[in-house]
Amino acid sequence: MKRVVSIQDISCLGRCSLTVALPVISAMGVECAIVPTAVLSTHTAFPGFTCKDLTDQLTPIARHWRSQGVTFDAISTGYIASAPQARQVLDFVASIRSPETLLVVDPAMADNGALYKGFTPEFARAMGAVVCSKADIIDPNITEAAFMLGAEYKEDGSYDEDYVRELLQGLVALGPKKAVLTGVSLEPGSCGVYGLDGKTGQYFSYFNELVDARFHGTGDVFSSTTVGALLNGLELDEALAVAADYTVACIKATISQPDHNWYGVDFETEIPYLLKLIGK
């Protein structure tokens, strides 16, 4: 069985980060080890959340895993709480990564033109320069890309394909092999992903319908699904299409429930659909 390690916080309530990655990746038939970088009572959109930083656990965990000779087919990183933690996560990754290990970085730190609580533009630049630079694949949304590059943020409806391609060129110049922008909308009613392979210079894209609802954790659903699909043998463009279709299905399932919560999506109900998408 393929094995991935997901490195990000555990928000005890909130349907994001590890509470999404673990069930989604496991459901796809891939072993999912985890490294919780912090424990929060909820994600940071709740008022008054608590947070215990676990950065000091990274080195002992890596040392122990190395002593056990474990290897990983992929390493996936998500929300990272600070620039010092980003550097520690990178050291951790370097110490357990082999040449065959795929590194997928989701620089989860911003959406809708704004950074999440507690982050600064300097942190965003550090995430780009430190963590994204070493990745095989990065999958920021447009807000995250703009902050990492110090570029202008443009809202849906006010940018064109040239803007998307410029962001992608800036992202691959940071160093990752491939960059994928999520939440790209080039036509009314359509939303999807647009990527660039830094080696071949080839662009690729996949669009689905735009569902007019925003929820926390959809980036985490997307990113985890992409990693799970890749480890099921799908090519990147196929994995992204699966991740986009599943994420849209999760949002639709959520809004179809009149009493749905505001903080995350009902990804659980759509797991059978996800398995169908990957032929399981």
Written as six digits, the tokens of 64 are 């122990």
Least Å from the CB of residue 218 to ligand PXL = 8
Pairing of strands 203-209, 137-138: unpaired
Among all chains, which residue has been given the structure tokens 């080696």? 199
Nearer to ligand PXL, 36 or 192 (CB): 36
Least Å from the CB of residue 198 to ligand PXL = 25
Using CB under 6 A as the binding rule, the residues of this chain from 90 to 129 that contact ligand PXL are 108, 116
Largest CA distance in the chain: 53
Nearer to ligand PXL, 12 or 236 (CB): 12
Among all chains, which residue has been given the structure tokens 């659909």? 273
Angle between helix 83-96 and 58-68 (nearest 10) = 0
Up-side HSE of residue 204: CA atoms within 13 Å toward CB? 15
* Among 9, 73, 144, 197, interactor with ligand PXL by CB under 6 A: 9
Nearer to ligand PXL, 64 or 262 (CB): 262
Q: Does 80 bind ligand PXL (CB under 6 A)?
A: no
Least Å from the CB of residue 207 to ligand PXL = 23
Q: Does 141 bind ligand PXL (CB under 6 A)?
A: no
Q: Does 79 bind ligand PXL (CB under 6 A)?
A: yes
Q: Which residues make beta-bridge pairs with 51?
A: 40
Between CA 109 and CA 65 the distance in angstroms is 28
Q: Under a CB-based contact definition with an 8 Å cutoff, are residues 196 and 145 in contact?
A: no
Between CA 141 and CA 11 the distance in angstroms is 21
Amino acid letter, 119: F
Q: Under a CB-based contact definition with an 8 Å cutoff, are residues 127 and 109 in contact?
A: yes
Q: Does 210 bind ligand PXL (CB under 6 A)?
A: no
Q: Does 270 bind ligand PXL (CB under 6 A)?
A: no
Task: Give the range of 42-50, 89-97, 240-248, 269-277 binding ligand PXL by CB under 6 A.
Answer: 42-50
Written as six digits, the tokens of 107 are 């620089």
Task: Give the range of 134-142, 213-221, 230-238, 250-258 binding ligand PXL by CB under 6 A.
Answer: 213-221
Q: Does 16 bind ligand PXL (CB under 6 A)?
A: yes
Using CB under 6 A as the binding rule, the residues of this chain from 216 to 245 that contact ligand PXL are 216-217, 219-220
Helix (H) or strand (E) holding 34: strand 31-42
Task: Give the range of 39-47, 63-71, 97-105, 142-150 binding ligand PXL by CB under 6 A.
Answer: 39-47
Question: By CB under 6 A, how many residues form the interface with ligand PXL?
Answer: 15
Q: Under a CB-based contact definition with an 8 Å cutoff, are residues 24 and 249 in contact?
A: no
Among all chains, which residue has been given the structure tokens 């995430």? 127
Between CA 57 and CA 268 the distance in angstroms is 30
Least Å from the CB of residue 152 to ligand PXL = 23
Q: Does 17 bind ligand PXL (CB under 6 A)?
A: yes
Q: Does 40 bind ligand PXL (CB under 6 A)?
A: yes
Q: Under a CB-based contact definition with an 8 Å cutoff, are residues 86 and 65 in contact?
A: no
* Among 11, 205, 232, 247, interactor with ligand PXL by CB under 6 A: 11
For binding to ligand PXL (CB under 6 A), which residues are involved?
9, 11, 16-17, 40, 43-45, 79, 108, 116, 216-217, 219-220
